[in-house]
Amino acid sequence: MENRIEKIKKQLHSQSYKLTPQREATVRVLLEHEEDHLSAEDVYLLVKEKSPEIGLATVYRTLELLSELKVVDKINFGDGVSRYDLRKEGAEHFHHHLVCVECGSVKEIEEDLLGHVEKTVESQWEFQVKDHRLTFHGICKNCQSEHD
Ligand SMILES: [Zn+2]
Ligand SMILES: [Zn+2]
């Protein structure tokens, strides 16, 4: 945890930003709930538990900054809510998601399945790909077995 905080701190410094206590509180919540795909409001409620003096606007601005700096990725699973997802250490691309339409569970695939697709896009459309989003909507294994 401290290690990851230190790395994020350096990442901010390299772009001339400071990891202020408010920003650090937000980053800690994201690290503690790495698997959770929290919305800004979720993050705010968790930050507030430990640091009641931090307001929603501050948390919101911090999340926007972190997404600009590519510390987090902003994602929308089609329910109109922006969620914030920490980028995995050293990841070149944003990991893929499997969203269950029945129970709402979200699984992550870290392996990049789109390398080949990116090459096609680059050569056919002369478009330089920087990143991509891939979300599958379907029925998870648990929900499938409930149907049996
Ligand atoms: Zn994710
Ligand atoms: Zn499910």
Shared-domain flag, residues 10 and 55: yes
The predicted-structure confidence for 120-136, as pLDDT tens digits, reads as follows 999 999 999 988 899 99
Amino acid at 50: K
Last residue of a domain, one of 90, 117, 140: 90
- Give the per-residue pLDDT at 131: 87
Last residue of a domain, one of 74, 90, 106: 90
Shared-domain flag, residues 59 and 124: no
Strand blocks (E) in 45-116: 72-76, 82-86, 96-100, 106-109
Neighbours of ion ligand 1 (CB under 5 A): 85, 108
What's the CATH code of the domain at 140?
3.30.1490.190
Question: Domain tally for the chain?
Answer: 2
**Residue ranges of the binding site for Fe cation:** 132
Shared-domain flag, residues 85 and 119: no
Which residues are 86's β-sheet partners? 72
Nearest bound ligand to the CA of residue 138: 2
Shared-domain flag, residues 107 and 119: yes
The predicted-structure confidence for 21-79, as pLDDT tens digits, reads as follows 999 999 999 999 988 999 999 999 999 999 999 999 999 999 999 999 989 999 998 88
pTM of the shown model: 0.83
**Residue ranges of the binding site for Zn(2+):** 100, 103, 140, 143
Residue 8 CA: distances (Å) to CA of 47, 79, 117, 120, 132: 18, 29, 31, 33, 22
What's the CATH code of the domain at 38?
1.10.10.10
**Residue ranges of the binding site:** 100, 103, 132, 140, 143
- Give the per-residue pLDDT at 88: 79
Residue 69 Cα to ligand 2 middle (Å): 33
Last residue of a domain, one of 41, 62, 90: 90
Give the structural domain span for 129. 92-148
77, 83 in Cβ contact below 8 A? yes
Shared-domain flag, residues 70 and 83: yes
Strands 96-100 vs 135-138: parallel, antiparallel or unpaired: parallel
Q: For the chain, give me the number of helices (H) and strands (E)?
A: 6, 6
